[in-house]
Amino acid sequence: MSQVEFHDGPHTTIHMGTTPGLQFLKRFVPLIEELPQTPSTSFAELREAFGPDARFFINGDGPRSREETEDLLEQNTTGLCGFEYTMTRAWDIPDTATGRRTVIYEAKLSAEYRQFRPQNSITISGGPLNGVEVNILELAPVGAGQQGGFAGLWIVEQRLFGDVSPLLRLGATRVKRNFWPGVWQGFSPGSLSHRLALRWTGKQ
C-alpha cells in the first residue's frame, strides 16, 4: 500500500526532505498568497505549475480549460484591497505504478474587495470575505524535454471546493442560477471526492 504523507500546518513548515507532492505545495501555495501583491510575477510562475492540457473544476462545475481559469483568476484578483491565504493541512497520496500523485490541501482565506463581480452574478462592495477552500491536485511527472513544473511535477487536474456562504451573508444581491452548483453533486457516492465535498460543505 502506498504511504500517504500528512502535513499539519502552513507551507512554511514543510521541510525540504519531504515527499514530492508536499515539495510541490511549498512552491505553489506562496504564489497564491502573493498573487494580489505581485500579479505579473505570480501569474508567470503559476503558469509553470500547470501542464499544457490541465483541466479545472470549481465546486463540481466544469471542466474549464487552463486559459479560462487564468481569465477567471485574473478577474477575481481585480479590485482586491486586502488578501490573506494560509494553507492549514495537506495530504500527499502517491501512485507508485504511474508516478502520479494526488495532493489535497485545505486553506483559509480572507479577502476584501472594493467591488466583486464574478461573471456579473454576484456583487459585493466592501467588507471582508472569510472562508475555507479545499483543493485536490492531480500531479503528473513533467515529461522528458518539457519545461515547467515544481519538484518534477505539474498539475493535470485541479478541483477546488469553496464555501460560498460568506458571500451570501455579506449581502450578495444576485446569484446566477447554477453559478455555484452543489459540490456534492457529480461524484460517485462513496468516492473520495464525494466524501470530501460532503464534509467541507457541511452536508456530513
Task: Provide mean pLDDT across the span 50-75.
Answer: 79
Query: Whole-prediction pTM value?
Result: 0.71
Query: Which three three-digit cell numbers place residue 143?
Result: 515529461
Q: How many domains does the chain have?
A: 1
**What is the residue whose three cell numbers read 504564489?**
31
The answer, yes or no, to whether residue 63 has pLDDT greater than 90, is no
CA pair distance 23, 51, nearest whole angstrom? 17
Residue 143 is given by DSSP the state: P
Please report the pLDDT score of residue 78 as a whole number.
62
Taking only the tens place, the pLDDT of each residue in 64-95 is 877 777 776 666 666 666 678 899 999 999 99
Give the C-alpha separation, 85 to 107, whole Å: 7
Instruction: Judge contact between 100 and 141, C-beta under 8 A.
Output: yes
Which CATH number characterizes residue 123's domain?
3.10.450.50
Q: Domain range holding 41?
A: 5-200
* Sheet strands (E) in 13-164: 50-58, 61-64, 80-94, 101-113, 128-141, 153-162
The 10s digit of each residue's pLDDT in 139-188 is: 999 988 888 999 999 999 999 888 655 544 443 433 333 333 333 344 44
The pLDDT of residue 67: 76
